[in-house]
Every structure is written in structure tokens, then in C-alpha cells.
Chains A and B, each alone.
Chain A
Amino acid sequence: MSIRYGLLALLDYGPKYGSQLRAEFESRTGATWPLNIGQVYTTLSRLERDALIEPAGERDGKQQRYRITENGRRELADWYRQPVDRSHPSRDELAIKLAMAVGTEGVDVGAIIQAQRHHTLKAMQDYTRLKAQALADGGPESGEEMAWLLVLEQLIFSAEAEARWLDHCESRLMRLAARRPARPRTGTQPDDTGAAHDAHDEHHVHDDEHAHDDEHAHHRITGGTTA
């Protein structure tokens, strides 16, 4: 869907060939979402079918230039006006992975969280280096450079949100683990010591500052016996 409107938006600047559209789309988004030329021509065919664009002049060999129609301009204006729909979120592999891992015996949820946090931070470091380059020498000058910077910052903010969510998951799991006994692996009952400790935890107002409790809980979520 976004490619369709992305191409319409670029054609609003004037008639273009498919190869030009691909190059300009990638330039504005820093090739974050690379397009293959087949996708471009398939999308152009659909836009033409829907009377949102039309051929501009005669075919130049194998290439055809397109221009936006009045219908296309109206459709584009509608797209700019409408908020992007967030009511049907796409499937998120990380959320699914954690949802499957929590409570699964033998799966180290803490390790999954840390591995992801490491990866996400690394990606943010890379984005941030690109951003520092984009901001060097007085920052973006052209519309294309500004578009690229905004896309980069969107990637940084998304990664940051993921990192914060991972911190939150870890903290929530640790609080839970501190309150509940670790699920026994082989059906054995917790011994008296464990039960007494858990009773203590029940009455303890857990606080992130309590490193001992955190440590105890951490072993539970990373020890392969998730609460």
C-alpha cells in the first residue's frame, strides 16, 4: 500500500519513468525499503488500471513515462489526510517469540531478551552513526536529505521503543518471578526453605533498587525454569 502512494506522491512532482521512480523512492528513504523494478512496474500497472495515473507521451523503447491524473491527486490528498491505520497491527515476530517463550520450561527468557537488546542496540548504533553523518556540516539541505533523516529517526525511535519494551518485559518477569515459586521441572514440591522464601517475597514490596531480590529473580527467569 505504501509503495502505491509513494509512487503517486513522486508522480505528483511531474511525469517519470519507472526507473526514475525507483531511484527517487530509494533516495528519499535511504534504501531502507529497497524496491525491485518488477514491484514498481506491477504497482504502476495497478495505478493505471485504477485510473490514478496515465501514460505521458509515447513509449520510449521499452520505457513508458507516467503522469498522475486528477483522480490520482484526489486519492493522494486523501492519503495525506487520513492517519495510518494502527488498529490492525501487523504480526511482530519478537512479540510472538516472547509470548511463546514465557512459561515454557527449558526456554531462557532472560537470554532471549538480552540477545534481542544487544541486537537492537547494535542496530541503533548503526542508525545513529548514519544520522550523525546526515547532520554533519549543517544538516540536511535538500528535501531528499531531510526525508532520509526523518526515516532514519523513525528507525531509531522504533528501535528505542523496542528496547524500552524489552526492559519492561524483563522487569515485569522479574517481579513475577520474585513473587512466585519457580515451576518445578519434574513435579517435585518446593522444599520448606523455598516456600518460606516465597512467603517472604509475598510480603515484600519489590523495588528495582533491591539488588538481592533482583538477583534471586534473575536466576529464576534465566535459569530455564520460568515462573
Chain B
Amino acid sequence: MTSPTAASGAAPILELRGLGRVHGSGVTTVHALRDIDLTVSAGEFVAVMGPSGSGKSTLLTLAGGLDNASSGQVLIEGTDLGTLNKSQLAKIRRTSIGYVFQDYNLIPALTAAENIALPRELDGISARAARKEALAALEEINLTEVANRFPDEMSGGQRQRVAIARALVGDRRLVLSDEPTGALDSETGEAVLALLRKRCDEGAAGVMVTHESRYAAWADRVVFLRDGTMVDQTVSPTAESLLASEVKR
């Protein structure tokens, strides 16, 4: 296993150091994740692949501070989540990390703009300023027409794009997505990937769990998990890409 490589020169946003998660004890012990080292820098998009039960979602859950590691460390922009108390952890989850789930997790009673504005209001900014930011976020993804629609009045692709806008509104630099294309058709799934890719190109760090290689191929690096262990990863793009000498425009 080669050591994880970060995008050259960019600041690390997420660092997993010797990360492990054990469920149960004694004969029922299950090592969901073992000794994971992974660094994801600003501007980098990493896909995590592996069969069911390989630890993909556990990795994402730990990286997002939604569960506690049994061993090792999770650092978000240099802050070790293990050293934080509950309210500090809640704050970093709210202000530094965006989550995108397969089932969107939009609040049904709020419009698209209100869903996007909500985390900013929780950050403490005024409702008016939060709405302004939400509308700007919708404009950026060419979805201003859904601003006042409720989730059940939007298509799956629109809901997921709104969820991504919500995940990255404000100063959030890390976006964690779990099968974000799961329920979408091929073309809509691709639009979602293009949006995640764009956000990373603009400076966010992204980690996406997926079982679809076609979507994983949008990432800079693909990490392969097996039985909770990182068994392989592709390297970030280089000038010596496979096609450089073969397929050219």
C-alpha cells in the first residue's frame, strides 16, 4: 500500500491518521475500519469504493464527526475532533462540514431556499443575509426557479443539487457525500457529480462514497476499501496519464 498522497502544495482539509473503528467486544468484535491513513486537501476530490461491509460509510461517518473512532485521529483543518467537547464538535460539524446523502435529507416543510439558508441561520447570521446567500447558491447551480418550491415539488436531481448547495453554503470547506447519485438516472447523476467536481475545483475538499465506478472516475483519487482496510488507491492525475500519449483531442 502506498502512502496517501495529497494534492501538491494545497492545505490539508481532512486528515485521517491510523483511524480504526471496532464494534462489539470479545468473540463478537468486528473491525469495521482498521488503521486508515488518508489526507484530502483543498481542491481535491476523493472517491471511496469497496463492497458492502468494507467500511466505506463508517469512514465517512467518522470523517464527519458523526461517530467516535476506536483508535486514531480525525483532523479537520488541523483540529483533532477527538479533543473537542460535544458543543465544540457540533459547531465544527455545522460550520466546516457539509453532508450530502443519497436520500437528500432536505426538510420537507422548508422551501429549497429555506433549506439552504437554515445552516447559515444556525451559524448565527441573520435570516435575511442567510436567504441572500441561499439565493446566490441557487443561482450558481442554475436552479433559481426552485427557490420557493418544497422538496416534494422538485425532481430527484434538483433535490440533490439543492442538498449540495446546502452542504457547501457559508465557509464549509469539506463536503462528505454518501452515494449522492444513488437514486438518480445516469444524466442527472452526472450533473450532480459535475457540481461536486466544480466545488472541489473551486477549493473545497470532497470525499464521496460510491459503488459506481463511472461516478468515482470524476474524482482525483479513488480509494479502495476491503474488510475495513485500505487496500489500494489510484494516484492523483499527473501529466503521465494513461491516455496522454494515446487519446488526444
Collect the chain A residues with CB atoms within 8 Å of residue B228's CB.
211
Whether A31 is near chain B, meaning CB under 8 Å from some CB there, is yes
Whether A20 is near chain B, meaning CB under 8 Å from some CB there, is no
Q: List 21 A-B contacts (CB under 8 A).
A: A30-B248, A31-B247, A32-B246, A119-B242, A121-B49, A124-B217, A125-B217, A126-B241, A126-B242, A126-B247, A130-B243, A130-B247, A132-B194, A132-B218, A134-B249, A157-B214, A159-B217, A160-B212, A163-B213, A164-B213, A218-B227
Q: Which chain A residues have a beta carbon within 8 Å of chain B's beta carbons?
A: 30-32, 114, 117-130, 132-135, 148, 155-157, 159-160, 163-164, 167, 170-171, 208-212, 214-215, 218
Q: Are B53 and A214 in contact (CB under 8 A)?
A: yes
Q: Are A122 and B242 in contact (CB under 8 A)?
A: yes
Q: Are B231 and A114 in contact (CB under 8 A)?
A: yes
CA gap between A32 and B52 in the complex, in Å = 35
CA gap between A135 and B32 in the complex, in Å = 39
Whether B82 is near chain A, meaning CB under 8 Å from some CB there, is no
Known contacts: A31-B247, A130-B249, A214-B227. The answer to whether A125 contacts B232 by CB under 8 A is no
Q: How far is the CB of B154 from chain A (nearest CB, A)?
A: 23
**Least CB separation from B212: chain A residue:** A160
Q: Are A132 and B197 in contact (CB under 8 A)?
A: yes
Give the residue among A124, A163, A211 with the most B Cβ atoms within 10 A.
A211
Interface residue tally for chain B (C-beta within 8 Å): 36
Whether B17 is near chain A, meaning CB under 8 Å from some CB there, is no
Collect the chain A residues with CB atoms within 8 Å of residue B216's CB.
121, 124
Collect the chain B residues with CB atoms within 8 Å of residue A133's CB.
249
Whether B224 is near chain A, meaning CB under 8 Å from some CB there, is yes
Collect the chain A residues with CB atoms within 8 Å of residue B218's CB.
125, 128, 132
Known contacts: A121-B234, A156-B214. The answer to whether A30 contacts B247 by CB under 8 A is yes
Of residues 55 to 100 in B, which have CB atoms within 8 Å of A's CB atoms? 55
Whether B204 is near chain A, meaning CB under 8 Å from some CB there, is no
Q: Which 7 A-B pairs have the closest CB atoms?
A: A124-B217, A163-B213, A208-B52, A128-B217, A211-B53, A126-B243, A215-B227
Q: Are B248 and A31 in contact (CB under 8 A)?
A: yes
Extra inter-chain contacts (7) besides given A126-B247, A129-B237, A209-B52, CB under 8 Å? A124-B214, A126-B242, A128-B218, A129-B241, A171-B51, A214-B51, A218-B227
Whether B172 is near chain A, meaning CB under 8 Å from some CB there, is no
CA gap between A146 and B59 in the complex, in Å = 39
CA gap between A163 and B53 in the complex, in Å = 19
CA gap between A119 and B232 in the complex, in Å = 11
Partner of B243, one of A123, A157, A212, A214: A123
**Least CB separation from B227: chain A residue:** A215
CA gap between A38 and B55 in the complex, in Å = 53
Collect the chain A residues with CB atoms within 8 Å of residue B234's CB.
118, 121-122, 125
Q: How far is the CB of A93 from chain B (nearest CB, A)?
A: 17
Partner of A209, one of B53, B213, B232: B53
CA gap between A68 and B224 in the complex, in Å = 52
Q: How far is the CB of A183 from chain B (nearest CB, A)?
A: 22
